[in-house]
Amino acid sequence: MSQSLFERLGGNKGITALTSDLVDNHLANPAIANRFMNSDVATVKNAAAMFMIAGTGGENNYKGKDMLAAHRGMNISALEFMAVLDDALVALDQSKIGQREQEEVLFILYSMRSDIVLV
């Protein structure tokens, strides 16, 4: 049996580091930083980690909203969505994740677009 994406991303520890970098990248990205102006960074990092751990085949301890409920009414643009994908690819590079896994993560993230952009 091949390893799950969760395992190939480094399990709980690897994904926690990855999502921490991802949120840091958002906060430093002028295209979207303002969206997180009033956010508690530790809370957002924890939600991102739990969401990605559950979504890649790890334990499901995600207690947050589904993607439509989480982003409804925010009027998120296609450009902002691209900025999040860009930040994810940078974070994957920062963790030295291989191309195959990067492609899988990108595909999973992209598949959520219709629940996030202009909803």
Distance CA 62, CA 3 (A): 22
At 89, phi and psi to the nearest 5?
Answer: -65, -40
What DSSP designation does 1 have? -
Closer residue to ligand HEM (CB): 70 or 90: 70
Instruction: Name the residue nearer to ligand HEM (CB basis): 2 or 18.
Output: 18
9 interacts with ligand HEM by CB under 6 A: no
- Mark residues 63-102: x for contact with ligand HEM by CB under 6 A, - for none: -xx----xx----x---xx--x------------------
Among 22, 44, 97, 105, binds ligand HEM (CB under 6 A): 44
Q: For residue 55, what are the CA distances in angstroms to 49, 73, 74, 77, 114?
A: 10, 24, 23, 24, 17
